[in-house]
């Protein structure tokens, strides 16, 4: 781990940032390709720690994985009989919550473990659900073992997915291969990040798997069927784009991102509307180039981020620089992410002289002039989005240092190089 002095700008940023592929789409495409009836090619694959852990996890239980030597973002996946193996989840929620259902289809024991911080992440919901569907599993969190029997009976199951939409997606992605399919009923507070489930449903249907669901977002049903092989093209990661786009209002400058999709299920696209509400202007050109311009100091905002919790660190960092008091709601579930993001954001914003307090389901942040903030050490908590939030504030606070910036490799291995290039400080 190293401490990284974030680039400081005493001028408006002016940059074009080309983002790699979406982690969420990449890891869903890899699962569907592994369970399909034939080979698939995935282009634009994000190559990051999280996605490489997914690739390695699938290969460990028998899936054919061929990464092109001349273009590592092009990956060929060949389904093969699944067998015993060992899977390292790292800190990847999609690996620890999507692969157990796949492992239950294997023949033999599949062990799961991950980073120390991952052992506190909630997994009981998906593991208990798989037990109820007929899988045999030892353990309620990392490390745990799935005793694969070559199939899963499937059927009806009731879960509480109020802590993470990944519990629903993790079951749906493999459900068509269960002997009786699956019928999920959610019982509890509203499921967060519903756009991620919409993404899962859309991708399943592209692979020939029909998902029946109700308008209340509490029931989903998948009948047993073949998963069609699809050649996937992965969109740029719009959640990773958020911090770069926020640099425009943070500095009163301009940032453009090419290949922004006209329509998408990625929750990260919501950053556009949020930045507009905070005073930025946005232009989406016909060729896909999205440009955000800052128009003075960002405005404070009151916003419910329940559906787009992953944007919270970026929005909170911008609120710390904004004019007025911001209220971020609907994000109590972030206490169960890579770290307790609400506590971490409050601690770090206050550490540098900002004003932030936690509420039951969010944060209240009173923005301060950048000159009144202190260049202290911003702790990342081994959380990639905490690190990028620190980098964003560092654009306006000369000398702010981000601890363990390497954690950004989870979803964006070249973050430091890309951020310094955007700021014009790359060596």
Q: How far is CA 188 from the centre of its chain?
A: 23
Flag whether 296 is marked binding: no
CA distance 252 to 396: 11
How far is residue 243's CA from residue 377's CA, in Å, rounded to a whole number?
19
Burial of 1 (0-12, 13-18, 19+ CB in 10 A): exposed
67: β partners? 75
Residue closest to 388 by CA, chosen among 425, 353, 344, 355: 344
131 is in an annotated binding site: no
Are 323 and 346 a contacting pair, CB within 8 Å? no
24 is in an annotated binding site: yes
Instruction: Kindly state the tokens that stand for 70.
Output: 């001349």
* Residue 310 marked in a binding site: yes
Task: Scan for tokens 């981020």, then name that residue.
Answer: 305
Does the annotation flag 206 for ligand binding? no
CA distance 32 to 28: 6
| Residue 166 assigned ligand-binding role | yes
Q: Is 284 helix (H, G, I), strand (E, B) or coil?
A: strand
Residue 306 dihedral angles phi and psi, to the nearest 5°: -55, -40
Say if residues 315 and 305 touch (Cβ distance below 8 Å). Answer: yes
Residue 23 labelled as part of a binding site: yes
121 is in an annotated binding site: yes
* 410 annotated to a ligand binding site: yes
Q: Is 385 annotated as a binding residue?
A: yes
- Active-site residues: which are they? 310
Residue 213 gets which letter from DSSP? Answer: E
Residue 341 labelled as part of a binding site: yes
Task: Report which DSSP code applies to 24.
Answer: H
Q: Which residues are annotated as a binding site for 3-phosphoshikimate?
A: 23-24, 28, 164-166, 193, 310, 337
Q: Which residues are annotated as a binding site?
A: 23-24, 28, 93, 121, 164-166, 193, 310, 337, 341, 385, 410
Q: Which residues are annotated as a binding site for phosphoenolpyruvate?
A: 23, 93, 121, 166, 341, 385, 410
């Amino acid at each position: 781990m190293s401490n990284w002095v974030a680039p400081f700008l005493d001028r408006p940023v002016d940059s074009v940032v080309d983002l790699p592929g979406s982690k969420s789409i990449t890891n869903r495409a890899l699962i569907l390709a592994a369970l399909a009836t034939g080979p698939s090619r995935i282009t634009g694959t994000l190559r990051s720690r999280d996605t490489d852990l997914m690739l390695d996890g699938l290969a460990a239980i028998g899936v054919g994985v061929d990464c092109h030597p001349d273009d590592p973002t092009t990956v060929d996946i060949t389904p093969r009989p699944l067998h015993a193996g060992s899977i390292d989840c790292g800190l990847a929620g999609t690996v620890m919550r999507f692969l157990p259902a796949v492992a239950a289809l294997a023949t033999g024991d599949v062990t799961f473990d991950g980073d120390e911080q991952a052992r506190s992440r909630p997994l009981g919901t998906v593991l208990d659900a798989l037990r109820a569907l007929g899988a045999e599993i030892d353990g309620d969190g990392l490390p745990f073992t799935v005793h694969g029997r070559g199939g899963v009976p499937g059927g009806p199951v009731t879960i509480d997915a109020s802590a993470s939409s990944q519990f629903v997606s993790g079951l749906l992605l493999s459900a068509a291969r269960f002997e009786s399919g699956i019928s999920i009923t959610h019982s509890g507070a509203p499921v967060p990040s519903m756009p991620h489930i919409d993404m899962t449903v859309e991708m399943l249907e592209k692979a020939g798997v029909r998902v029946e669901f109700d308008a209340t977002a509490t029931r989903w049903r998948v009948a047993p069927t073949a998963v069609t092989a699809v050649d996937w093209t992965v969109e740029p990661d719009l959640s990773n784009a958020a911090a770069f786009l926020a640099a425009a209002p943070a500095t009163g400058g301009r940032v453009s991102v090419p290949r922004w999709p006209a329509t998408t299920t990625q929750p990260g696209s919501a950053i556009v509307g949020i930045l507009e509400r905070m005073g930025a202007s946005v232009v989406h050109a016909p060729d896909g180039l999205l440009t955000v311009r800052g128009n003075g100091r960002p405005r404070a905002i009151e916003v419910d981020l329940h559906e787009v919790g992953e944007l919270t660190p970026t929005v909170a960092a911008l609120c710390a620089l904004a004019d007025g008091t911001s209220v971020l709601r609907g994000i109590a579930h972030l206490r169960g992410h890579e770290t307790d993001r609400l506590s971490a954001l409050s601690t770090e914003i206050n550490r540098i002289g900002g004003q932030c307090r936690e509420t039951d389901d969010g944060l209240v942040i009173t923005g301060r002039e950048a000159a009144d903030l202190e260049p202290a050490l911003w702790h990342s908590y081994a959380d990639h989005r905490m690190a990028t939030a620190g980098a964003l504030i560092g654009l306006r606070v000369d000398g702010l240092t981000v601890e363990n910036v390497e954690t950004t490799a989870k979803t964006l291995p070249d973050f430091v190089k890309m951020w310094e290039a955007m700021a014009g400080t790359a060596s």
